[in-house]
């Protein structure tokens, strides 16, 4: 049975991992006959957002502890991820990717990326194992993969431009479609960058995971 690593960035679309995308990733991995294990960095998240009002809370939360909510407690510190134990990697979206795993939400083309995440993703790439980036997560591609690696982040021009300035080659893509860089084994799909419903998000994520398993 194939085993897939999932890296989460907290819990909640505005300050962590997008919950629908994360759960759909788990569901479709199992439906394709594989298993998964979840990881998250043991760091403080950038800030805390009240998802009812959109207001920022004056408190601190831990990315690993928050991500454990989605994983039902079955999650490990990113530092313990052994790439040799997995066949592929998936990174769901949510603003946690752009706030906790990187600074893309604030610095765009001048953003930095969490070093432990970069090393992990590059280890998957060096072992020729595919990685699927969902929603805003393709903003990480330029930090991790060679110049010109194909990626999609939906159709927002400003976001796409920043992604290209970081080194990826952006391809405009529909919500139910994917972009595959076969040479680099990198898959991306817009998910909630474009999706207006959970059904639309599911269609693209399912297609991205099918592409991932087709590469294996």
pLDDT number for residue 3: 98
Query: Cα 205 to the chain's mean position, in Å?
Result: 11
- How are the residues of the chain apportioned to helix, strand and coil, as percentages rounded to the nearest 5? 40, 20, 40
Compute how many other C-beta atoms are within 10 angstroms of the C-beta atom of residue 50: 12
Alpha helices in the chain (DSSP H): 19-31, 63-70, 95-99, 104-107, 115-126, 141-144, 157-165, 198-215
In this structure, what DSSP letter does residue 77 have? E
Instruction: Determine the Cα–Cα distance for residues 11 and 96; give it in Å rounded to an integer.
Output: 8
Token pair, residue 195, equals: 């999706």
What is the rounded CA–CA span in Å between residue 159 and residue 2? 33
Residue 135 falls in the annotated catalytic set:
yes
Pairwise CA distance, residues 212 & 180, whole Å: 9
Q: What is the pLDDT at residue 40?
A: 98
Residues 34-43, mean pLDDT to the nearest whole number: 98
Q: Would you call 43 helix, strand, or coil by DSSP?
A: coil
**Which pLDDT does position 156 carry in this prediction?**
86
Summarize pLDDT for 43-55 with one digit per residue, the tens: 999 999 999 999 9
Please, what is the average pLDDT of the chain?
Answer: 97
Give the separation between CA 172 and CA 89, rounded to whole angstroms: 23
104-118, pLDDT tens digit by residue?
999 999 999 999 999
Query: Using one digit for the tens of pLDDT, what is the confidence trace for 171-215?
Result: 999 999 999 999 999 999 999 999 999 999 999 999 999 999 999
pLDDT value for 18? 98
Q: Give the distance from CA 28 to its chain's centroid.
A: 15
Q: Other C-beta atoms within 10 Å of 200: how many?
A: 17
Determine whether 21 is exposed, middle or buried from the number of CB atoms within 10 Å of its CB (0-12, 13-18, 19+): buried
Q: Is the pLDDT of residue 168 over 90?
A: yes
> Measured between alpha carbons, how far is 27 from 34 in angstroms, rounded to an integer?
10
Give the model confidence (pLDDT) of 132-166 as tens digits.
999 999 999 999 999 999 999 989 899 999 999 99
Closest C-alpha among 89, 88, 97, 90 to residue 163: 97
- What would be the CATH architecture of the domain defined by 3-215? 3-Layer(aba) Sandwich (3.40)
Burial class (CB in 10 A: 0-12, 13-18, 19+), 190: buried
Q: What is the pLDDT of residue 10?
A: 98
């Amino acid at each position: 049975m194939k085993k897939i690593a999932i890296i989460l960035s907290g819990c909640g679309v505005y300050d962590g991992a997008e919950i629908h995308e994360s759960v759909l990733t788990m569901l479709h991995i199992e439906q394709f006959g594989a298993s998964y294990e979840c990881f998250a960095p043991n760091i403080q998240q950038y800030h805390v957002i009240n998802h009812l009002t959109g207001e920022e809370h004056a408190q601190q939360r831990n990315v690993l502890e928050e991500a454990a909510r989605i994983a039902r407690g079955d999650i490990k510190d990113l530092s313990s991820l052994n790439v040799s134990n997995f066949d592929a990697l998936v990174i769901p979206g949510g603003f946690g990717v752009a706030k906790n795993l990187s600074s893309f939400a604030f610095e765009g083309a001048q953003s930095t990326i969490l070093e432990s995440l970069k090393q992990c993703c590059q280890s998957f790439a060096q072992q020729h194992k595919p990685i699927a980036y969902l929603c805003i997560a393709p903003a990480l591609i330029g930090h991790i993969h060679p110049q010109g690696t194909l990626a999609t982040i939906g159709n927002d021009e400003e976001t796409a431009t920043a992604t290209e300035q970081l080194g990826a080659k952006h391809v405009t893509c529909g919500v139910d479609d994917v972009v595959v860089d076969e040479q680099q084994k990198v898959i991306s799909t817009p998910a909630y960058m474009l999706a207006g419903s959970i059904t639309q998000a599911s269609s693209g994520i399912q297609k991205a995971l099918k592409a991932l398993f087709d590469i294996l």
